[in-house]
Structure 1
Amino acid sequence: MTDRAKEDKDQGLEQTETVENPVNEGDENKESASNVSNETDQAEGAESDKLARENQELKDKYVRLYSEFENFRRRTAKERLELVNTASKDLMQEVLPILDDFERSFKAENASDPEEEQKQAGSKLIYNKLLRVLTAKGLQPMEDLVGKDFDAEYHEAITQIPAPSEELKGKIVDVVEKGYTMAGKVVRFAKVVIGN
């Protein structure tokens, strides 16, 4: 081969090398671009996962806070209602001995004298009016306790006596002092005698 042919051959190789190099460089550029896009996609995926977790945490916090507020609202409404229902409990406890005194006076007075009968009628009128006002405010007397089972949540046993009959064993035989409730809660326990 002549020198010229050799030079052309060498140049052809160089040209093919230079042609091959740009192709290789393009592939490297494509790979680096795809690597960059993969990294970007991964970063965006991680960012969206992070945002989704934060969003879920915020939703959970909101739901808990809302639930706590609802529980607080219900509890305060219930307490307010109980307070309204039992606000006059102290006053009722102060007035109950007056009712007891009226009842004792009715038992003690002799109604055979016409003057005494008129006095007693006036006292009964005042007693009934007072009792009507108190029941309108929610005070309820515990009625018909004789013969019922003793319940420590409503009754206070002051003594036990031998039961007059077998069916009164463990039951209330006598009521010494009336008990009263208000809005389902005991204002004063009934003082009772139990048969044993």
Structure 2
Amino acid sequence: MEENNTQQQTEEQVNKTAEASAENVATETAPESQDVKAEENAKEIEMTKLKAEIAESKDKYLRLYSEFENFRRRTAKEKLEMVQTANEQLIKAMLPVSDDFERAEKSFKDKNDKDSEGFLLIQSKFKKVLEQYGAKPMDIQKGADFNADFHEAITQIPAPEESLKGKIIDVVEKGYLLNDKVIRYAKVVVGN
């Protein structure tokens, strides 16, 4: 019996020791698992922040890229316009010479005269040069509608006919276009 008692006591002590060890293990693992969870939460927060920073950087990059593309297109368009109208000031300065040629042509009564041949040759070359660089005179007929986008009314006179009211009666000075842009408005007389 004594042996049984001793054995029981030993078993009880072993059980108590095992229970105490289990409690120690449980208390030791609880803080460790809390530390692990805290580390995982910190990593998740850091990953979320990194993802937000990446998204923000990507958005900035896309905006910057779009702005650069718009800038590139705008400068290309400006260069094209500059090339098309590069000679605008020179052509504007040459238009009075063209007007003088036309007035001189009207003063020649006999165009078969030898003196007029050279003049007409020079005038035609001058017109070809203007056309070569994109300048062309506006084709305005008497009786056409007045258009403020192309015409400048220098005066109004009573219309000789009812159908000419608000229409062009006479063209005093030709208008010119440079690549479909008005560089000089046609000076016209309008019927009232």
User: What TM-score range do you get, normalising by the shorter chain?
Assistant: 0.7 to 0.9
Please point out which of 126, 135, 140 is paired with 1:139. 135
TM-score, scaled to structure 1 = 0.85
The one-letter code matched in structure 1 to 2:24 is E
- Preserved contact between residue 140 and residue 171 of structure 2 (Cα < 8 Å): no
Cα distance in 2 for residues equivalent to 1:20 and 1:66: 67
Cα distance in 2 for residues equivalent to 1:20 and 1:167: 120
Match of 2:161 in 1: 165
Structure 1 unaligned runs (5+)?
none
Cα offset for 1:14? 5.6
Structure 2 residue 191 is the aligned partner of structure 1 residue 192: no
Aligned to 2:109, the other structure's residue is in SS state coil
Summarize the alignment of residues 77-116 of structure 1 with structure 2, pairs less than 5 Å apart. 77-111=76-110
The one-letter code matched in structure 1 to 2:139 is E
TM-score, scaled to structure 2 = 0.87
The one-letter code matched in structure 2 to 1:103 is E
Aligned residues: 190
Runs (4+) of structure 1 exceeding 3 A deviation are: 5-18
Structure 2 unaligned runs (5+)?
none
The one-letter code matched in structure 2 to 1:195 is G
Cα offset for 1:98? 0.6
The one-letter code matched in structure 2 to 1:81 is L
Percent of counterpart pairs with the same letter? 47
Q: Cα distance 1:178–1:9, how it changes in 2: closer, same or farther (>3 A)?
A: same
Cα offset for 1:18? 3.2
| CA RMSD, 1 decimal | 2.5
Cα offset for 1:12? 6.3
Match of 2:75 in 1: 76
Structure 2 residue 173 is the aligned partner of structure 1 residue 177: yes
Q: Cα distance 1:173–1:29, how it changes in 2: closer, same or farther (>3 A)?
A: farther
Cα distance in 1 for residues equivalent to 2:161 and 2:16: 125
Cα distance in 2 for residues equivalent to 1:174 and 1:26: 112
Q: Cα distance 1:159–1:40, how it changes in 2: closer, same or farther (>3 A)?
A: same
Aligned to 2:136, the other structure's residue is in SS state strand
